[in-house]
Structure 1
Amino acid sequence: MEASEGKKLNFDNTEIAFRHKSKSELNSAYWLFKIMGSNFLTQVGPPVTNLFLNIGLPIQGLIKATIFKQFCGGETIAECEHTIAQLAVSKVGTILDYSVEGEEEETVFDFTCDEIIRTIDRAAGDPRVPITVFKVTGIGRFGLLEKLDAGHELSAAEIVEYEKVKSRCERICRTAFEKNVPVMIDAEETWIQKTIDDLALEMMMLFNKEKLIVYNTYQMYRHDKLAHIKADHLIAKEKAFILGAKIVRGAYMEKERRRALQMGYPSPIQPDKKSTDQDYNAALVYSIENIMEMGIVCGTHNEASCKLLADLLNEHQISHNHPHVYFSQLLGMSDNLSFNLSDGDYNVAKYVPYGPVKAVMPYLFRRAQENTSIAGQTSRELDLIIREKKRRNV
């Protein structure tokens, strides 16, 4: 039976949501979300910041003390130790996410592969770091994946290049298997996603026979992804492996719609938010109904979906801390979900991005824009912080 049957989930409980934050941390978060509430600053900030960084103006310290501190664990794994310990006090796990992106050189791909393996080594044997993650574009060239997805013939050099990508992917997943540390393969743009999906399925067939190690990511703002989860589940049953599914809404909506319009093909994105929400929640229901054959990471900042999954576990009399069910949010966001869920003994882990300040700027800009573009996200975060400041009289 569930671990905390008597506890009622309350995502408005700011005492639990922010008890890990000191007075100064709470005030810093207040001012940061206040600034991010300005559309003008969120739009103008990225190009100005990039310009300042590129011409060598000393703003790196300012970035590190503000937006970087809110959304990142540090520049290295060692610098993330404080965040790992701080989250663990409230039984929230850490997902170390090396967030360097947009690189093109083989030497960088080899380094990134080694760094992802270092996150797995760091996680091994430490329940505070329960899951790891990587992007295939971190270990392989975007243009190569795009060519594969489009079905174009590869040159001899590109065939060798892709073998290296597969080899890096397998090395990461094999290390995860040997160290008993689950690893998630992140979703990316639709025009490279089929290649990533094929790789993820191949890795699951290799390493998910005995235990749940590899997860693929399903972006439910795509209208074909609910069917995709069900199809992959049937393959998993037939091939006798456990399906790992990280279920998210998605991260590239504007880019996807723009490209579809420019290139004249039907948009892969759902017609509206309601359709996305329906498919997302249907995927949760389907997963819980097949929980012995599937493991899920519910990656969402949506309160209704978190509540639904919590209710489904109770309905099906599944333990709150069942190893096949995790909730996940990003560091610095939706603490009211993460910490209230962990207080109810659900498995929760925060994505903790890290990397050199300049290299993680694209990630940070996306977070700032996401908070502005998701309806009510910034005002919701601000409202909760204000209420906690009032509760503490600070």
Structure 2
Amino acid sequence: MAIRGASSISTTSKLLLQNYRLLKPLTTLTSTTTPPSTIISPQTFSEKPAPTYDASGFGSGSGSGSGSRLTFENGQDLFASVPTAKLLKSTLTLKMAAVEPVVDLGTWVINSKLMNVRVFKDLVMGFTKRTFYDHFVAGRNVDEAGETVKMLWDDGFRGMLDYGLEHVDDNESCDRNSDAFIKTADSTKSLPATSVSSVVVKITAICPVSILKRVSDLLRWEYKTKSINLPWKQSTLPIFSESSPLYHTLTRPEPLTPQEEQDFQLAQQRLKNIIDKCLESNVQLVIDAEDTQIQPAIDYFTHSAAVLYNKGDKPLIFGTIQAYLKDAKERLVLVKAAADRMGVPLGVKLVRGAYMSSEARVAASLGHESPIHDGIKQTHDCYNDCASFMLDEVANGPGALVLATHNFESGRLAAMKAQELGIGKGNQKVQFAQLYGMADALSYGLKNAGLEVSKYLPFGPVDQIMPYLLRRAEENKGMLSTSAIDRQLMSMELKRRLTAAVL
């Protein structure tokens, strides 16, 4: 029997949340060291505290992991396996990305009519390929991405393969994208066992966005009014909570037309084909999140597939929770409770979120407050609380967790708790993840402390991946960016190596 959104369990949500609040949050963990002042905030927020480097270290874990000290202050230890040439190129690229006028000029050029001039475009693309692209992108195709996976595997990391596809709105493009995702999953069979932790899929690349909006409206109206029947709806986990934003759907939507329902079924079949290939290749599938206008439909795709495919103790399919949303904790608790009742091991990727400006703009246009937390502290607290909840849940029970963060404080707290719970190297129920080319100091520090770490590996042709590169350049510009600590530690290590060579 289908679970209609969260409606069938809404009467228990307050009790579940009361029990949730009794859990020990990450912020209550004890440590023998003083936490550093360096906290990197999500780059979609403007509140960025200046990162002042603290050499006091981040404490040590006491669990049954590797027992290695969790520390980020020693560039020599962190980057010991990185060749000097690569370290130099990475440092220069990140320093260039920190110069705001350079990034602003580059963004203007990429979006200008000058790119219609072939010679000029070739020059720009060539420069981009040798700098930002090589730093932030795993390769032009699945074969080059595979070589990057092998390089990372030799260095102690795993890879999350993400073919860099943006939104589409026609079935022909969706079919083509689906084939690319299937090829990506199939490629993992030729790579070292377990070197790829997951294949990443965006539902917006395999289902027309117009269909996602229509399905989201119908799901919202069903949850709001309990007055319509959705004949196409299959058994799923809760999609909404009592605090979820429902203002996108102001009037009763019309049922899906026969053509829309056919397009919807085609998208479901594409996802099924991708999942079947992941199952055959023994690799997990992570489904990315989008904005709240279309997220209900994406959650439906994710949760209904999880009910069908997630069996035993280890999930095959992971959904994404964005902690900057005010309803994130409540939805996570409801989904986990429902999954446990149904015997479905829940896979969760926890992120902070990436649509702050658009969410606030849409909410304001409809006369509602933003669904995003009011400040950066609330977002940090929500992320850490969600992480703590899931760590407790998966330590001795079903499910798995991907902690995707560039925030040193969140990484430190979650790593300490994971080690206290006995979650260490080789335990793939919990892994940390950072974008390729970003937060490398955090990645190496977590890996050196004996924790599972993956790097998120987007790949694709230079022109196709350009929107992704522009976002990364925007995130890294300025002295208060995510890359500030990486730049400082890399520079210190380069200086040390140069001094050692001279002496």
Determine the structure 2 residue equivalent to 1:46: 107
Which residue of the partner structure matches residue 328 of structure 1? 433
Q: Which amino acid aligns with 1:29?
A: S
* Identical counterparts, % of pairs: 31
User: Are 1:143 and 2:245 matched, yes or no?
Assistant: no
Would you say the 8 A contact 1:90–1:343 is kept in 2?
Answer: no
Note the 1:27-66 alignment, pairs <5 A: 27-51=88-112, 52-56=114-118, 57=120, 58=122, 59-66=124-131
Aligned counterpart, 1:134: 201
The one-letter code of the counterpart of 1:26 is L
3-state SS of 1:290 partner: helix
Rg bigger for which structure?
2
Q: Note the aligned Cα RMSD (angstroms).
A: 1.8
2:494 to 383, 389, 392: 389
Structure 2 counterpart of 1:341: 446
Which residue number corresponds to residue 272 of structure 1? 375
- How far apart are 1:145 and its partner, in Å? 0.9
1:377 Cα offset (Å): 1.9
- Mapped pair 1:185 → 2:287: yes
Q: Structure 1, unaligned stretches of length 5 or more?
A: none
- Which one has the bigger helix percentage? 1
Letter in 1 for 2:317: V
Aligned match of 1:171 = 273
Report the equivalent of 1:85. 150
Picking from 206, 211, 217, the partner of 2:320 is 217
Contact residue 248 and residue 280 of structure 1 kept, 8 A = yes
State the distance in 1 between where 2:319 and 2:311 align. Answer: 15
1:268 Cα deviation from its structure 2 partner: 0.8
The answer on 1:119 being equivalent to 2:184 is: yes
Q: Which residue of 1 aligns with 2:175?
A: 110
Q: 1:189–1:89: structure 2 CA closer, same or farther, 3 Å change rule?
A: same
Cα distance in 2 for residues equivalent to 1:104 and 1:47? 27
| 1:283 equivalent in alignment to 2:383 | no
Matched, 1:70 2:135: yes
Per the normalisation by structure 1, the TM-score is 0.95
Deviation at 1:12, TM superposition (A): 2.1
Q: How far does residue 31 in structure 1 lie from its aligned partner after superposition? A: 2.2
Partner of 1:263: 366
Cα drift, residue 48 of structure 1:
0.9
Misfit runs of 4+, over 4 Å: none
Q: Deviations over 1:20-53 (max 9, x none)?
A: 4332322222222222212233233223124344
- 1:21 aligned to 59, 82, 101, which one? 82
- 1:233/1:294 contact within 8 Å kept: no
Q: Structure 1's 129 and 108: CA in aligned 2 closer, same or farther, altered over 3 A?
A: same
| TM-score scaled by length of structure 2 | 0.75
1:371 aligns with 2:433: no
1:317 to 415, 419, 422: 422
Query: 1:223, 1:269 within 8 Å by CA — same for their partners in 2?
Result: yes
8 Å Cα contact 1:313/1:320 also seen in 2: no
Question: Structure 2: which amino acid aligns with 1:337?
Answer: L
State the alpha-carbon separation in 2 of the partners of residues 231 and 121 from structure 1: 34
Alignment CA distance shift 1:93-1:65 (3 Å): same
- 1:297 is matched with 402
Other-structure match for 1:4 = 66
Task: Letter of the 2:217 partner, please give it.
Answer: A
How many residues were matched structurally? 393
String of CA shifts for 1:188-217, please: whole Å, max 9, x gaps: 111100111111111111111233100000
- Sort the Cα spacing of 1:374 and 1:278 in 2 relative to 1 into closer, same or farther, 3 A: farther
Question: 1:343/1:196 Cα in 2 relative to 1: closer, same or farther (>3 Å)?
Answer: same
Partner of 1:244: 347
Contact kept, 8 Å, 1:13 with 1:336, in 2: the verdict is no
Amino acid at match of 1:83: T
